[in-house]
């Protein structure tokens, strides 16, 4: 199957009540685990590469590994830059074969965010590449935080409309209470679904993206901790909230932490239980299997299974 753009994937997802899983990749085992899961579940997927992943594994290695996956599989796969932080990085990824890029100017003032996104859009669109942007700051906010503090951090629906019109971006990552990593909420998890609905109404039919959407599944946190890990009180976004978000305009859901936890939990277990083993394949193989099972599970949560 040739690689596809996220534009094609979102058009189908938006009309069919599911979201495409965007899974972060850093090495061969991660790519293999994700692609095998997607093949078995017949689901379209986005393989996304962060700046850090690109520095860790190198652009050329990641692209060749993904090319191999494309060669042997028949599911639609998009190759996306996650959290691009400069025009130059986005340009290098577009020139180097990515089919989608994110330029993340969410830390910038509104006008500067608009300017950098517009610059990337002007380069990407003539080359057929869609652009994801972000407005608002990803942060878990506790229940007691005031409405005005919440407004200062989360995506403003009116600004979102203006931002999309001014930049011409193809999808928008919104801040409604999710955050990156394994510690998303100090107390009861909550997302601002009213705000999400207002953003959807301000931008009818426009693809929205949820970052920081891992659920930090307790079984894997417990397994990590049992075998020497130290992740006390880790907590993610409950899966029923993810299911609710993808029934609307959220058509890309970013997942990295859950994959990291699954791999690390199993590697910890394998090393602890087999102290005399020093063959990396003996712990990377079960780690890849655990990651694959995690992705299969996620594809069902996103309602993406069977949609390839």
Q: Which residues are catalytic?
A: 82
Q: Which of 132, 256, 268, 290 binds ligand 13P (CB under 6 A)?
A: 256
Part in contact with ligand G3H (CB under 6 A); list of ranges 49-57, 149-157, 267-275, 286-294: 49-57
DSSP letters, 188-206, are S----HHHHHHHHHHSTT-
Is residue 214 within 8 Å of residue 256, measured between CB atoms? yes
The interface region with ligand G3H, picked from 34-42, 45-53, 103-111, 164-172 by CB under 6 A, is 45-53
Spatial contact of 210 and 189, defined as CB atoms under 8 Å apart:
no
Minimum distance of ligand 13P from residue 282's CB (angstroms): 27
- What angle (nearest 5°) sits at the alpha carbon of residue 201, between those of residues 198 and 205? 135
Tell me if 26 contacts ligand 13P by CB under 6 A.
Answer: no
Q: What mask, x for binding ligand G3H by CB under 6 A, covers residues 6 to 35?
A: ------------------x-----------
Asked if 159 and 110 touch (Cβ cutoff 8 Å), the reply is: yes
Name the residue among 249, 156, 155 with its Cα closest to residue 204: 249
Token pair listed for 305: 């299974």
**Closest separation in Å from C-beta 57 to ligand G3H:** 10
If one counts every other C-beta atom within 10 angstroms of the C-beta of residue 150, the result is 16
Q: Phi/psi at 254 (nearest 5 deg)?
A: -90, 130
Stretch that binds ligand G3H, among 46-54, 91-99, 119-127, 270-278 (CB under 6 A): 46-54
> Is the CB of 211 or the CB of 252 nearer to Zn ion?
211
Q: Which of 6, 235, 254, 264 binds ligand 13P (CB under 6 A)?
A: 254
With respect to ligand G3H, which residue has the nearer C-beta, 82 or 200? 82
Residue found under tokens 């690109």: 54
Assigned token pair, 131: 């652009």
As measured in angstroms, the least distance from the Cβ of 191 to ligand 13P is 13
Q: Take residue 41 and report the two structure tokens written for it.
A: 């579940």
Residue from 29, 36, 41, 82 in contact with ligand 13P (CB under 6 A): 82
Examine residue 80 and tell whether it contacts Zn ion (CB under 5 A): no
Q: Which does 238 bind (CB under 5 to 8 A by kind): ligand G3H, ligand 13P, Zn ion, none?
A: none
CA proximity to 180, closest of 276, 75, 304, 52? 52
Give which of ligand 13P, Zn ion, ligand G3H, none residue 53 binds (C-beta under 5 to 8 Å, depending on kind): ligand G3H
Nearer to ligand 13P, 192 or 256 (CB): 256
24 binds ligand 13P (CB under 6 A): yes
The closest of 51, 46, 16, 52 to 34, measured between CA atoms, is 46
Determine if 181 is a binding residue for ligand 13P (CB under 6 A): yes
Q: Which of 2, 45, 50 is nearest to 24 (CA)?
A: 50
Angstrom distances, CA of residue 206 to CA of 132, 146, 164, 197: 12, 29, 9, 12
* Residues that bind ligand G3H in the complex, under the rule CB under 6 A: 24, 50, 52-53, 82-83, 180, 256
* Residues that bind ligand 13P in the complex, under the rule CB under 6 A: 24, 82-83, 180-181, 211-214, 254-258
């Amino acid at each position: 199957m040739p690689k596809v753009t996220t534009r094609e994937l979102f058009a189908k997802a938006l009309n069919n009540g599911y979201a495409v899983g965007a899974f972060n990749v850093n090495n061969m085992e991660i790519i293999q685990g994700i692609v095998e899961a997607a093949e078995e579940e017949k689901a379209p997927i986005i393989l996304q590469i962060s700046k850090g992943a690109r520095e860790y594994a190198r652009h050329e290695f990641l692209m060749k590994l993904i090319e191999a996956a494309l060669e042997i599989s028949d599911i639609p796969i998009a190759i996306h830059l996650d959290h691009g932080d400069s025009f130059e990085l986005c340009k290098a990824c577009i020139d180097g074969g990515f089919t989608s890029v994110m330029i993340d100017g969410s830390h910038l003032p509104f006008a500067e965010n608009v300017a950098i996104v517009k610059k990337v859009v002007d380069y990407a669109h003539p080359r057929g590449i869609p652009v994801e942007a972000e407005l608002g700051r990803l942060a878990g906010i506790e229940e007691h935080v005031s409405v005005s503090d919440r407004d200062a951090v989360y995506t403003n629906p009116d600004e979102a409309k203006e931002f999309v019109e001014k930049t011409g971006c193809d999808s928008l990552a919104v801040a409604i209470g999710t955050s990156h990593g394994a510690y998303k909420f100090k107390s009861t998890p909550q997302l601002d679904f009213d705000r999400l609905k207002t953003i959807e109404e301000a931008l009818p039919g426009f693809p929205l993206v949820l970052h920081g959407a891992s659920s930090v599944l307790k079984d894997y946190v417990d397994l990590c901790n049992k075998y020497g890990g130290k992740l006390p009180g880790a907590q993610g976004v409950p899966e029923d909230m993810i299911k609710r978000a993808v029934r609307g305009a959220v058509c890309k859901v970013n997942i990295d932490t859950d994959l990291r936890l699954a791999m690390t939990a199993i590697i910890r277990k394998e090393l602890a239980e087999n102290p005399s083993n020093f063959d990396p394949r003996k712990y990377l193989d079960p780690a890849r299997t655990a990651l694959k099972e995690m992705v299969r599970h996620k594809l069902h949560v996103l309602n993406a299974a069977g949609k390839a």
